[in-house]
Amino acid sequence: MMNVRGCSGVAALLGSMIATAGAQPKPASGEWQSYGGDKGFTRYSPLAQINRDNVKNLRVVWHRPAVDPLIMDKFPDLSPSNYFRGTPVFINGVLYAPNGVGLVEAFDAATGQTLWVQQPVEPTLKEAAGQSTRGVAYWRKDTDERLVSIRRDYLYALDAKTGKPCRDFGENGRVWLNRHTPDEAGYFGYPGPFVVNDVIVVGGNGGGKSGEGYGDDGFEGRAKPEDIRGYDIHTGRLLWTFHVLPHKGEPGYETWGKGSADYVGNMAAWASMTADEQLGYVYVPLSAPTVSYYGGHRPGENLYSDSLVVLNAKTGKLVWYFQMVHHDLWDYDSATPPILGEINVDGKWIKAVIASNKTGFLYVFDRATGKPVWPIEERPVPQSDTPGEETWPTQPFPTKPPAFDRQGFTEDDLIDFTPELHRKALEIAGHYRLGPLFTPPSLMTTGADAKKGTLALPSAWGSGNWNTGAFDPETGMYYAVSMTQATAYGLAKATDPKATVAYWIPFESAPRQAESNRPRRTLLPGEVEDYDYDESGGFRVNGLPLMKPPYGRITALDLNQGTKVWMVPNGDGPRNHPLLKDLNLPPLGNIGRPVALLTKTLLFLGDASNALYGHAGIAGPAKFRAYDKATGEVIWQTDLLVGTTGGPMTYMAGGKQFIVVPIGGKGYGGGWIALGLPE
């Protein structure tokens, strides 16, 4: 066979390769082929050199800065964000990852030494500047090896051997992804691209600014649907577009009342997709519509918001779907990679897809047919009394497995370590409506029985998120990583002349970060800041969470049985707080979004970075821990300079097992550390 050097081969050669295309080669043993470990995002490796007996000897064997000096030396004013997301993939002895500004770097897996760094298309600060993404996608056929990445508004294809652009891909190696919104919003593809056989599938945000800043709040109901797109791996040509909001004439259009289908948008896949390449299916988790907290302008179920949609990756055609939240009013995105694994239920092997969202439920299906493994029941839920709102009467409740985090808010959930803390918590909670899961947002009112809205658990940040989930294919165990944090949904009339929806959550109703601009006091070692809220908007009482712990947890679920096996807090949490330190409390759990890594016998999990959450709930230095995955027992832990900002991964290089994890934090920046055993 003719040797095709990287992606510099001519189109004719590529054409012949398409004609002879077979199945993707099986990954070599020990490869970490996607940043979730494999195309099913199990975050699992069978490696066992590092085990419960020697894990205590792990040490940092190399580290790399978030951006290679080859770039920093050229652009000294580059300052990558602390939120350094990139988890490497490992292919044939080489690690590939997006760096702190989103350029791809290749480095030696044994030493961490640079092999190549993607160069900006122009030697300017403007072109060098950017954000990190969670990972790159790798593709190979014969000797053609490509890395596919998303950076700012572009999809890139690079030669994996050199880091040079594949000139036959798009325009000089890249394709413009911008969604062309009326407010000229940028495109954001932090999950990176996903490759299924010869198709690059792209989700990502960029549907609009919602009127006031990016995100899910605001009073602007008009946006672009964040459609899913498929591109040819060889040429970058757009192959298909899946409408996350059905067009007129397509099934599902009728689920958008009052003509909202013609102008509402968002609903991105902003967690990674997964794929079964034998079936040729890609599993796409979708998020909430515009705007997330009020839906009076969009009556109906609102397909395909908050759904798992399963597409034929070659054609983009819908195979099956399941909507996890109807007519979302809470921003309960399906923000979790739909993990693929085989389970054995009642003696029958099932190739399953394990979906989740911010509610703390797992939704388990036969991944070929969409049939739920255990019944999912539509149950009545509380209804809204906000003018114009038409709450959907029911929501889906999985009967198995049990939810992996707390749902709904009652006074029994309030912190009660001391009578004074409980009194203050009751006082705060008394200003809000409380209720079970799916209690809708409510109006802020005045008068004798004034309320500030609905106090909800989970919050819009979710108990589960992109970080949640790891699956052990040998045991059928699923490990949910989640946090417990309340939020307020307090609606007010949108009186701004630019508003296009009737109600919104004004920023003034949320706990404010800058209100903590008050004289500083000396903190004890390990003590948390005395905020009335944390940096993600969660409520606090004397710097402590409003609710009972744990605030961050790991839950082991047996998916052969649909049962919970164990739950442990992840980290000490605020147990050294002055009000608690004499109570001899057990670990309370740290909030945040850390990512698990499963190996043959261990579960590795760090503390989350303060880049997103400040120090809320985390006592002392951030740690990286090894748990016995059978029991949840902490076997080993070590201090990190700062918390983790992406997922850990593992591989063998030179006969030695390594664990690499991205870290980042305030006053530090970001970088990768590699842990290994001594020689």
Pairing state of beta strands 442-443 and 487-493?
parallel
Residues 144-163, mask of contacts with other proteins (x by CB under 8 A): --------x-----------
Q: Look at residues 151, 150, 219, 211 and name the one whose alpha carbon lies nearest to residue 181.
A: 211
By CB under 8 A, residue 130 contacts other proteins: yes
Specify the residue, 249 or 525, whose C-beta has the smaller distance to other proteins. 525
What does the longest C-alpha to C-alpha distance in the chain come to? 83
Name which position in 51, 407, 513, 561 contacts other proteins (CB under 8 A): 513
By CB under 8 A, residue 267 contacts other proteins: no
What is the H or E stretch that residue 312 is in?
strand 307-312
By CB under 8 A, residue 19 contacts other proteins: no
By CB under 8 A, residue 127 contacts other proteins: yes
- The H-assigned helical ranges of 8-160 are 11-19, 69-72, 125-128
- Alpha-carbon span 407 to 436, nearest angstrom: 7
Specify the residue, 58 or 544, whose C-beta has the smaller distance to other proteins. 544
* Segment contacting other proteins by CB under 8 A, of 124-132, 309-317, 387-395, 448-456: 124-132
By CB under 8 A, residue 578 contacts other proteins: no
Contact 83, 609 (CB under 8 A): yes
- Alpha-carbon span 274 to 633, nearest angstrom: 30
| Burial (0-12, 13-18, 19+ Cβ within 10 Å), 314 | middle
* Segment contacting other proteins by CB under 8 A, of 4-12, 13-21, 40-48, 70-78: 70-78
Name which position in 515, 631, 633, 654 contacts other proteins (CB under 8 A): 515
- Alpha-carbon span 261 to 299, nearest angstrom: 10
By CB under 8 A, residue 209 contacts other proteins: yes
CB of 624 to other proteins, least distance (A): 18
Using DSSP's 3-state secondary structure scheme, residue 260 falls into helix
Name which position in 30, 402, 537, 578 contacts other proteins (CB under 8 A): 537
- Alpha-carbon span 341 to 339, nearest angstrom: 7
- Alpha-carbon span 561 to 399, nearest angstrom: 12
* Segment contacting other proteins by CB under 8 A, of 211-219, 276-284, 391-399, 552-560: 211-219
CB of 69 to other proteins, least distance (A): 16
Q: How big is the CA angle at 83 (ends 117 and 69), to the nearest 5 degrees? A: 30
Residues 437-466, mask of contacts with other proteins (x by CB under 8 A): -----------------------x------
Residues 613-642, mask of contacts with other proteins (x by CB under 8 A): -xx---------------------------
By CB under 8 A, residue 529 contacts other proteins: yes
44 forms bridges with which residues in the sheet? Answer: 598
By CB under 8 A, residue 212 contacts other proteins: yes
Which tokens belong to 290? Answer: 């515009």
By CB under 8 A, residue 3 contacts other proteins: no
| Burial (0-12, 13-18, 19+ Cβ within 10 Å), 114 | middle
- Alpha-carbon span 175 to 164, nearest angstrom: 15
426 C-beta neighbours (distance < 10 Å), count: 14
Contact 346, 294 (CB under 8 A): no
Tokens 């790159």: give the residue.
136
- Alpha-carbon span 402 to 99, nearest angstrom: 38
Name which position in 13, 115, 121, 129 contacts other proteins (CB under 8 A): 129
Specify the residue, 79 or 561, whose C-beta has the smaller distance to other proteins. 79
Contact 466, 532 (CB under 8 A): no
Specify the residue, 335 or 653, whose C-beta has the smaller distance to other proteins. 335
Name which position in 26, 518, 584, 679 contacts other proteins (CB under 8 A): 518
Name which position in 38, 217, 220, 389 contacts other proteins (CB under 8 A): 217
By CB under 8 A, residue 516 contacts other proteins: yes
Residues 468-507, mask of contacts with other proteins (x by CB under 8 A): ---------------------------------------x
CB of 450 to other proteins, least distance (A): 23
* Segment contacting other proteins by CB under 8 A, of 77-85, 423-431, 541-549, 642-650: 77-85
Using DSSP's 3-state secondary structure scheme, residue 306 falls into coil
* Rg, Å, the chain Cα set: 24
CB of 275 to other proteins, least distance (A): 28
Name which position in 216, 226, 472, 572 contacts other proteins (CB under 8 A): 216
Q: Look at residues 333, 390, 389 and name the one whose alpha carbon lies nearest to residue 215.
A: 333
- Alpha-carbon span 289 to 353, nearest angstrom: 24
Specify the residue, 214 or 374, whose C-beta has the smaller distance to other proteins. 214
Angstrom distances, CA of residue 140 to CA of 108, 148, 524? 19, 11, 53
Specify the residue, 33 or 644, whose C-beta has the smaller distance to other proteins. 644
By CB under 8 A, residue 81 contacts other proteins: yes
Binding region for other proteins (CB under 8 A):
75, 77-82, 101, 124-131, 152, 184-188, 209, 212-217, 460, 507, 510, 512-518, 520, 522-525, 529, 531, 535, 537, 610, 614-615, 666-667
